[in-house]
Amino acid sequence: MSYQHYRLEELARLVQGELVGQADLCLQGLASLELAEPQHIAFVNADKYVEQAKVSKAGALIVTPELQQQLDTHQNFIVVANPYLAFAILTHVFERKHTQTGIESTAQIHPSAIISESAYIGHYVVVGENCVVGDKTIIQSHSKIDDFVEIGKECFIDSHVTITGEAKIADRVRIHANTVIGSEGFGFAPYQGKWHRIAQLGSVQIGNDVRIGSNCSIDRGALDDTILEHGVIIDNLVQIAHNVKVGANTAIAAKCGIAGSTIIGKNCILAGACGVSGHLSIADNVTLTGMSMVTKSISEPGTYSSGTGALPNAQWKRAVIRFRQLADVPLTQLQKRLDHMQTQIESLESTLKLRK
Amino acid sequence: MSYQHYRLEELARLVQGELVGQADLCLQGLASLELAEPQHIAFVNADKYVEQAKVSKAGALIVTPELQQQLDTHQNFIVVANPYLAFAILTHVFERKHTQTGIESTAQIHPSAIISESAYIGHYVVVGENCVVGDKTIIQSHSKIDDFVEIGKECFIDSHVTITGEAKIADRVRIHANTVIGSEGFGFAPYQGKWHRIAQLGSVQIGNDVRIGSNCSIDRGALDDTILEHGVIIDNLVQIAHNVKVGANTAIAAKCGIAGSTIIGKNCILAGACGVSGHLSIADNVTLTGMSMVTKSISEPGTYSSGTGALPNAQWKRAVIRFRQLADVPLTQLQKRLDHMQTQIESLESTLKLRK
Amino acid sequence: MSYQHYRLEELARLVQGELVGQADLCLQGLASLELAEPQHIAFVNADKYVEQAKVSKAGALIVTPELQQQLDTHQNFIVVANPYLAFAILTHVFERKHTQTGIESTAQIHPSAIISESAYIGHYVVVGENCVVGDKTIIQSHSKIDDFVEIGKECFIDSHVTITGEAKIADRVRIHANTVIGSEGFGFAPYQGKWHRIAQLGSVQIGNDVRIGSNCSIDRGALDDTILEHGVIIDNLVQIAHNVKVGANTAIAAKCGIAGSTIIGKNCILAGACGVSGHLSIADNVTLTGMSMVTKSISEPGTYSSGTGALPNAQWKRAVIRFRQLADVPLTQLQKRLDHMQTQIESLESTLKLRK
């Protein structure tokens, strides 16, 4: 629910676009072409959406010059080179802002913690010994900031987040609800048939502008720290094991898991549900497609994939039976045998011709 | 621990079954055939369990007429056409009921929130601005109901749930512990080598009788809403990305992930750990078997599968090597070459015979 | 941040190692060879680390006798047979200890709950009716211990954990943040096109020395209990469904999922992101490699694997096309046909030779 109103000319100025139509048109929000009403502005970013745009009830449209020409159905536009980027900028205008500052009376703050006056600490938050919370940072209800954790400025920590392991979080970091940062890594030494816990003494370092989704687990390191470099973005339900290092601006989609001590390069893209084994090194600019299983280091940039997409069940069953048989079928030999036999047959044919 | 006692005749009436034996037999709970004691009632739903039933110490058994005849070892029965369904109904009888109503003194309720008198709000719950909580709804301790969230009647929200993004939840919805509804979708625009956050302005709509497991993440939409239709049931640790729409009565097992803007039809069944790519459309009545990877839309009802089941490691290694070689082995050509060479050989054989 | 200081001789005694060098050398912590400073002790557990050890600034090194001889660069050592094990022991020495006991004033404890005087109950914890919490157990902030849950001694329960379903937890159990124990299993009966909830009446039993990571879901049983035997260790984001039984000392890595009623043997190792179908039986001493998909019971100890590792995308696409074609290529028949044709060709060649 948005209470803000903006005039079309204000929005045009914000995205540095050209205003066409009614400058003081009042707009209350962004909407999709399909569901927009006259108080909404929508965007069109490709020819394939032109038909949908023509029948949209949106009060104004964000378009390129070429798209505007096709839309004689509408009068009010913001004309830009990149409508998707303009849309992205305007989402921040219409987003409901959190304005409250201060510490709710129900929060438990350790006397030694240093919390900026412009920060907001929500209901039932617990902040521990020697913690630091920077300017304009928002920590929503119920979150737990354990001893010696430091959080920079303009961060957003949603509800039910647990931050422990003396994690150090830089500026403009956004961590979504119910995520765990700095919990103990899975360090166990097998000895005489039982597992012996290795206490994890490292920490977590999170750089500027990192975003972590909900229900993620980012473990503290064993001795050295687990590291997320600047600009890393992570989706929900992701596992980052102890001593993983993720390079700057790498994007990790939901349900990925990266095992211990693996180093991921910069500018990588890991699609949903990838699994990366431990102690590997993945170069910069590597893309993994969905559900890829990476068991060896990758030294060359590029796109890598694994798995076999869904087939109708009956066909899949036959393919799986063959896959198992593959273990004992010397495929490359088959081709060689065929080639050899081809030669033998041709020789026989020649011989027969000669003797005619 | 159950303090309730029921007479056999009461239970028989509840499941509309025929009572055989001692009408006032006192029963305190349901149990498995193996572990039942005389104060328990157990069910038998197939011939293969008859031997186990004969030696069961259960005080009474739920059976079909045919099964009753085989169990001359017991005297007390409820006879029905479908013992499994009768068992399912009786679990609700023996379930420990939550009877408390009202708002715990430790909860923080915004003055503008409207909460039914028959609802229960647990310790340390935070309810935000303009929220609505309907009749007989139970919200367990520590949950966070963010501003403008509306929850219908007879819902059950367990502890540590975060509901945000102005989500709208209908009636008889059950959401299990530590789940996140309405958190920000993973919307980022790449620009000049960095990721720029697109604020998510859509919401989440959850229909009647929806059930969501623990530790799930259901993201709010970018502009339009993320939608779970009536009767959808979801297991634990499931990811539902922004703008996904799940059709009525579809069941999604644990660890599935559905990427953004995908539409799943009605009455689908997704087995554990499936992954569905974004912007796809899955028809009604589609079943995906476990760990299926769906990268293309599915337009026909039926069962679809992917992956290759576990093999002994040595055999698997050989199969994997062959799988990689498959890339360069023209399989269908092999068959054609064989067929062609077969013809050549037969021709040679005929020629030799003719010349004898 | 560690405030403890230990003399080298104290540490040597703790690991029963031989002290070489300055007995009263003051050490403040463990560190990796790469990042150690003079106040740190590091370990060397293989020849391949000798070069790194030579240039390490660590004040002391844990080594074998053979390794010590190679490290003429250093003067202070603890000499042992197994440096990795000595390191594992010392992590507990340097770990920051939790010393607080008692119940924070903000915790809500039901009058009937029995809590040991030496336990610690953190801020905003809720403990329900008839709960039991044993000696020296630590329950961190915000956790919810529901009615009739019993927790043994020397346990560690981190923040935001939900324990419900009348779970019974033994001694020295460690459960990490935001995990859910005892929530309702995914029991639903299909009836007339809709899903009908089966109330789950079983519980969870957790043995001694079990460790469970963060963001896990361990569901209560339907009638009988879900069981984790002594010494089981589980990583983050793991799904254990209703009525699963995990055998003693089995290790389960992150993102695994085990479906309902499956029995896992003792001393098994499940690598990351494995999926095990329901109602299976996995023998003792089975190892599953990462992302394995187990759809049939395994009766023999050994290592099992599935899946196909990541390939460069172009090669993978070709392999996937062939995989689909495999369904209709009778692989084993190909070999037989080749063998048969080989015989026919050889027969033709002989015949031609005879007729020369």
| pLDDT (average), residues B246-259 | 98
- Pick from C126, C208, C214 the residue to mutate for testing the A interface (most A CBs within 10 Å): C214
- Pick from A157, A306, A335, A343 the residue to mutate for testing the C interface (most C CBs within 10 Å): A306
* Nearest C-alpha neighbor of B265 from the set B273, B254, B276, B255: B276
**3-state secondary structure string across chain C:** CCCCCEEHHHHHHHCCCEEECCCCCEECEECCCCCCCCCEEEECCCHHHHHHHHCCCCCEEEECHHHHHHCCCCCCEEECCCHHHHHHHHHHHHCCCCCCCEECCCCEECCCCEECCCCEECCCCEECCCCEECCCCEECCCCEECCCCEECCCCEECCCCEECCCCEECCCCEECCCCEEEECCCCEEEECCEEEECCCCCCEEECCCCEECCCCEEECCCCCCEEECCCCEECCCCEECCCCEECCCCEECCCCEECCCCEECCCCEECCCCEECCCCEECCCEEECCCCEECCCECCCEEEECCCCCEEHHHHHHHHHHHHHHCCCCHHHHHHHHHHHHHHHHHHHHHHHHCC
Structure tokens given for B264:
């799943």
More confident residue, A354 or A57: A57
Tell me which chain B residues have a C-beta less than 8 angstroms from the C-beta of A272: 239, 257, 259, 275, 277
Query: For residue A43, what pLDDT is reported?
Result: 96
A26 touches chain C (CB under 8 A): no
Is C123 among the residues known to form the active site?
no
A70 touches chain B (CB under 8 A): no
Distance CA C63, CA C43 (A): 6
| pLDDT for B1 beyond 50 | no
| pLDDT for B240 beyond 80 | yes
Pairing of strands A302-305, C311-312: antiparallel
| pLDDT for B55 beyond 70 | yes
- CA closest to C339 among chain A residues: A337
| pLDDT (average), residues A92-115 | 96
Give the largest CA-CA distance in chain A.
108
A281 touches chain C (CB under 8 A): no
Pairing of strands A174-175, A211-212: parallel
Query: For residue A356, what pLDDT is reported?
Result: 58
A326 touches chain C (CB under 8 A): yes
Tell me which chain C residues have a C-beta less than 8 angstroms from the C-beta of B16: none
Tell me which chain C residues have a C-beta less than 8 angstroms from the C-beta of B88: 189, 196, 198
Q: Is the ipTM of this complex over 0.90?
A: yes
Domain range C6-94, CATH architecture: 3-Layer(aba) Sandwich (3.40)
Q: How confident is the model at residue A329 (pLDDT cuts 50, 70, 90)?
A: confident
| pLDDT (average), residues C317-342 | 84
Query: For residue C271, what pLDDT is reported?
Result: 98
Instruction: Give the model confidence (pLDDT) of C199-212 as tens digits.
Output: 999 999 999 999 99
Q: What percentage of chain A reaches a pLDDT higher than 90?
A: 85
Query: For residue C332, what pLDDT is reported?
Result: 78
- Pick from C326, C341, C346, C355 the residue to mutate for testing the A interface (most A CBs within 10 Å): C326
Q: How confident is the model at residue B355 (pLDDT cuts 50, 70, 90)?
A: low
Query: For residue A123, what pLDDT is reported?
Result: 98
| pLDDT (average), residues C17-33 | 96
Angle formed by the axes of helices B331-355 and A331-355, nearest 10°: 30
The minimal CB distance from C158 to the residues A183, A198, A293 is found for A183
Q: How confident is the model at residue B329 (pLDDT cuts 50, 70, 90)?
A: confident
| pLDDT (average), residues A180-194 | 94
| pLDDT for A254 beyond 70 | yes
More confident residue, C189 or B152: B152
Query: Among the listed ranges A194-208, A308-322, B28-42, C217-231, which one has the minimum average pLDDT value?
Result: A308-322
| pLDDT for A83 beyond 70 | yes
Q: Which residues of A are catalytic, by number?
A: 242
Q: How confident is the model at residue C356 (pLDDT cuts 50, 70, 90)?
A: low
Cβ within 8 Å, pair C164-B160: no
Backbone angles phi, psi at C52, to 5 degrees: -65, -35
Neighbour-count burial for C46-77, b at 16+ CB within 10 Å, e otherwise: eeebbeebeebebbbbbbbeebbeebeebebb
Question: How many angstroms away from the CA of B356 is the closest CA of chain A?
Answer: 13
| pLDDT for A223 beyond 80 | yes
Tell me which chain C residues have a C-beta less than 8 angstroms from the C-beta of A123: none
| pLDDT for C2 beyond 80 | no
Query: For residue C355, what pLDDT is reported?
Result: 65
Query: For residue A333, what pLDDT is reported?
Result: 80
| pLDDT for C221 beyond 50 | yes
Distance CA A31, CA B140 (A): 35
| pLDDT for B27 beyond 70 | yes
Query: For residue B327, what pLDDT is reported?
Result: 80
Q: What is the mean pLDDT of chain B?
A: 95
| pLDDT for A1 beyond 50 | no
Q: Single out the catalytic residue among B160, B196, B242, B279.
A: B242
Tell me which chain A residues have a C-beta less than 8 angstroms from the C-beta of B243: none
| pLDDT for B2 beyond 60 | no
Query: For residue C1, what pLDDT is reported?
Result: 47
| pLDDT for B313 beyond 60 | yes
Cβ within 8 Å, pair C186-B352: no
Tell me which chain A residues have a C-beta less than 8 angstroms from the C-beta of B304: 310-313, 316
Q: What is the mean pLDDT of chain C?
A: 95
Cβ within 8 Å, pair C195-B140: no
Cβ within 8 Å, pair A335-B323: no
Query: For residue B332, what pLDDT is reported?
Result: 78
- CA closest to B288 among chain A residues: A310
Backbone angles phi, psi at B257, to 5 degrees: -140, 130
How many Cβ atoms from other residues are within 10 Å of residue C9's Cβ? 15
Which residues of C, range 93-122, sit inside 8 Å of B by Cβ?
108
Instruction: Give the model confidence (pLDDT) of C103-130 as tens digits.
Output: 999 999 999 999 999 999 999 999 999 9
Distance CA A91, CA B222 (A): 9
Q: Which CATH code for domain C102-304?
A: 2.160.10.10
The minimal CB distance from C148 to the residues B1, B233, B316 is found for B1
Report domain extents, chain A. Answer: 6-94, 102-304, 314-355
Structure tokens given for C199:
């109330």
Question: How many angstroms away from the CA of A231 is the closest CA of chain C?
Answer: 24
The minimal CB distance from C322 to the residues B123, B309, B331 is found for B331
Query: For residue B330, what pLDDT is reported?
Result: 79
Distance CA C213, CA A218 (A): 11
Contact between A176 and A236 under an 8 Å Cβ cutoff? The reply is: yes
- CA closest to A278 among chain C residues: C272
Contact between C138 and C125 under an 8 Å Cβ cutoff? The reply is: no
Question: How many angstroms away from the CA of A354 is the closest CA of chain C?
Answer: 12
Q: Single out the catalytic residue among C160, C242, C279, C340.
A: C242
| pLDDT (average), residues A48-75 | 95
Chains that touch C (3 or more CB pairs under 8 A): A, B
Distance CA A287, CA A285 (A): 7
Contact between C215 and A180 under an 8 Å Cβ cutoff? The reply is: yes
Question: Which residue carries 């003693």 as its tokens?
Answer: C248
Q: What angle do CA B300, B302, B308 make, to 5 degrees?
A: 115
A207 touches chain C (CB under 8 A): no
- CA closest to B141 among chain A residues: A142
Enter the DSSP assignment of A81: S
